[in-house]
């Protein structure tokens, strides 16, 4: 499942869930790449997301070019430029 939104400041990945049997097969990276292209086509400069600090997906997001901008209440706020 991929749930997206945007405001005047950025495009957001609100939710990205991959069925466990499909994890570690590139599906998450494809979803992020697809989102990046949608945001770019729409003219956005930033792609943002939130993720729990202990979530292993943090490593995927870092590999996909996201950086941690802030950490609060066990949540990382991450973004990457488009």
**DSSP single-letter state for residue 21:** G
**pLDDT per residue as tens digits for the range 12-68:** 999 999 999 998 899 999 999 999 999 999 999 999 999 999 999 999 999 999 999
- In sequence order, what E strands does 24-65 have? 46-52
CATH 3.30.70.250 fits 2-81, yes or no: no
Rounded to two decimals, what is the model's pTM? 0.91
Would you state the pLDDT for residue 79?
98
Q: Are the C-beta atoms of 80 and 66 separated by less than 8 Å?
A: yes
């Amino acid at each position: 499942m991929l749930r997206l939104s945007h405001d005047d400041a950025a495009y957001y990945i609100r939710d990205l869930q991959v069925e466990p049997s499909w994890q570690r097969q590139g599906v998450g990276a494809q979803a992020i790449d697809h989102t990046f292209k949608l945001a770019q086509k729409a003219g956005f400069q930033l792609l943002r997301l939130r993720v729990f600090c202990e979530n292993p997906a943090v490593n995927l997001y870092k590999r996909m070019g996201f950086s941690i901008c802030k950490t609060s209440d066990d949540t990382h706020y991450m973004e990457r430029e488009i």
